[in-house]
């Protein structure tokens, strides 16, 4: 073939391929365009919705398993509560609740736990969960604030017992007050319970005579635990730290890991003698070495302290010791003398009743008698004397034997602990002083 003819054919072939390529590209573009959905037109009311307004959306969703089973067996049961009275047996209890002796037989013989139900003391409260047919399905007994004893029916003749325990969360709380009339009134006004007030008096009772030495202007602050379970208040816990300012002196008590209380230097709060041998009450006369005797009218030394309280008030041994005398005469009435060592002796006069005999060994806080008006007196009171080497001393101010201190590593650990507790105590005090609230760990102005 002629070269000129080959060139003409080649040009003709190229000219035919270009339109074909354009057609292919156009077809691909068209098919791609068909795959892209056309923009849909919004409904007529699309733009009628307002911002910041909630509009309900109806969803047809299947119920979740938890929702389907939301009605628990407990809610389907009918509950009856019975408190065991004196002389009632479980057979009588079951009869009163409407249950058969046969059910009781199967229940108490199911396991070791159910057998304990045979011997229940008066006052125990039982809850019986019955189904629609009156058949016992569950029995409950509250054992404590956190534990509940539960018996579940397994089948017609078998039951099984278990104990359900609730978790306890501990939170901190704080109270403080300045005394204007009495420590008791100040404690109640500050939101403390009677038990907490007495516990504070016990903590500082080796340093402060709460019957005689409390004055207007004294103050206290205390940090303590509160116990909660699943949002339910379960009561007060331990006092963790407390300070009491009396007559210008401030005393501190901090709870250690061993459960005992020490001052900020690690010295034990508990000492050899109590400052007052009874619950704090009003006092007829203070220590006065030249006192006008109420009966004879003569000026005579009154080498002791008189505590006025209701007749029958328990009188405590001020410290550990041995009863050296327990008797009666027309001057002292019923009296008890306690020898604590070769150095210390305490005397308790005008008792209504003596509850110890000579030779008895007593411990601090033991009741040795009750307050009365026996002997030469004008009214019911306790006359209390404190002798050191045979010499009368004012029990309110006499220097008592030193308390024991923590030692070694235990002492070092406690000092760090005490520092942290006092810092928290001070922080709470600042919050109240600044009229602030503590919310979720944040300090917020009130």
| pTM for the model | 0.60
pLDDT surpasses 50 at 386 = yes
pLDDT surpasses 90 at 45 = no
CA distance linking residue 260 with residue 203, whole number of Å: 10
pLDDT surpasses 90 at 140 = yes
pLDDT surpasses 70 at 66 = no
CA distance linking residue 56 with residue 420, whole number of Å: 53
Least confident of 91-105, 292-306, 368-382: 292-306
Report pLDDT for 48: 53
Work out the pLDDT band at 445, boundaries 50, 70, 90.
Answer: very low
Report pLDDT for 396: 83
CA distance linking residue 81 with residue 130, whole number of Å: 11
Work out the pLDDT band at 145, boundaries 50, 70, 90.
Answer: confident
pLDDT surpasses 60 at 255 = yes
pLDDT tens for 119-130 read: 888 999 999 999
When pLDDT is averaged across residues 370-379 and rounded to a whole number, the result is: 92
Question: Judging by beta carbons within 10 Å of its beta carbon (0-12, 13-18, 19+), is residue 287 exposed, middle or buried?
Answer: buried
288 contacts 396 by C-beta, under 8 angstroms: no
Report pLDDT for 43: 53
When pLDDT is averaged across residues 60-75 and rounded to a whole number, the result is: 43
When pLDDT is averaged across residues 380-395 and rounded to a whole number, the result is: 92
pLDDT tens for 190-248 read: 999 999 999 999 899 999 988 888 899 999 999 999 988 877 787 888 999 999 999 99
> How many Å from the N-terminal Cα to the C-terminal Cα in the chain?
108
pLDDT surpasses 60 at 298 = no
Top pLDDT among 368 and 231 is at 368
Work out the pLDDT band at 61, boundaries 50, 70, 90.
Answer: very low
When pLDDT is averaged across residues 29-48 and rounded to a whole number, the result is: 49
Report pLDDT for 44: 52
Phi and psi angles of residue 350, each rounded to the nearest 5 degrees, phi first? 70, 30
309 contacts 278 by C-beta, under 8 angstroms: yes
CA distance linking residue 326 with residue 369, whole number of Å: 10
CA distance linking residue 272 with residue 361, whole number of Å: 15
Report pLDDT for 69: 35
What is the average pLDDT score of the chain? 81
When pLDDT is averaged across residues 383-407 and rounded to a whole number, the result is: 88
Report pLDDT for 40: 46
């Amino acid at each position: 073939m002629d070269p000129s003819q080959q060139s003409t054919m080649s040009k003709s072939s190229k000219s035919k391929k270009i339109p074909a390529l354009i057609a292919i590209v156009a077809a691909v573009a068209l098919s791609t365009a068909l795959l892209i959905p056309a923009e849909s037109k919004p409904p007529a009311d699309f733009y009628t919705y307002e911002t910041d307004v909630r509009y309900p959306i109806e969803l047809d969703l299947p119920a979740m398993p938890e929702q389907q089973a939301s009605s628990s067996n407990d809610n389907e049961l009918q509950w009856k509560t019975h408190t065991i009275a004196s002389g009632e047996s479980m057979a009588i209890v079951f009869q009163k609740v409407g249950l058969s002796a046969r059910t009781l037989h199967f229940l108490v013989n199911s396991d070791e736990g159910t057998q304990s139900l045979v011997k229940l003391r008066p006052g125990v409260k039982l809850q019986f969960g019955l189904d629609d047919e009156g058949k016992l399905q569950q029995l409950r007994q509250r054992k404590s604030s956190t534990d509940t004893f539960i018996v579940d029916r397994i089948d017609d003749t078998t039951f099984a017992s278990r104990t359900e325990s609730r978790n306890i969360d501990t939170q901190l709380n704080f109270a403080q007050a300045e005394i204007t009339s009495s420590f008791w009134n100040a404690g109640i006004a500050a939101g403390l319970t009677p038990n907490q007030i007495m516990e504070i008096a016990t903590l500082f009772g080796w340093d402060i005579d709460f019957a005689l030495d409390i004055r207007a202007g004294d103050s206290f602050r205390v940090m303590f635990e509160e116990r909660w379970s699943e949002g339910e208040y379960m009561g007060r816990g331990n006092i963790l730290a407390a300070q009491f300012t009396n007559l210008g002196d401030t005393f501190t008590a901090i709870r250690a890991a061993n459960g005992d209380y020490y001052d900020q230097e690690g010295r034990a709060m508990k000492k050899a003698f109590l400052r007052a041998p009874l619950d704090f009450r009003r006092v007829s006369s203070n220590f006065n070495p030249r006192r006008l005797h109420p009966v004879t009218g003569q000026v005579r030394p009154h080498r002791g302290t008189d505590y006025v309280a209701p007749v029958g008030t328990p009188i405590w041994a001020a410290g550990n010791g041995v009863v050296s005398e327990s008797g009666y005469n027309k001057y002292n009435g019923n009296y008890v003398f306690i020898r604590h060592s070769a150095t210390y002796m305490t005397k308790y006069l005008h008792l209504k009743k003596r509850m110890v005999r000579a030779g008895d060994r007593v411990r601090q806080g033991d009741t040795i008698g009750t307050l009365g008006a026996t002997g030469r007196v004008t009214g019911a009171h306790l006359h209390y004397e404190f002798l050191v080497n045979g010499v009368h001393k004012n029990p309110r101010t006499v220097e008592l034997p030193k308390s024991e201190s923590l030692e070694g590593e235990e002492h070092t650990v406690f000092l760090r602990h005490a520092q942290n507790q006092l810092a928290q105590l001070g922080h709470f005090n600042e919050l109240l002083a600044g009229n602030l609230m503590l919310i979720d760990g944040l300090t917020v102005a009130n």
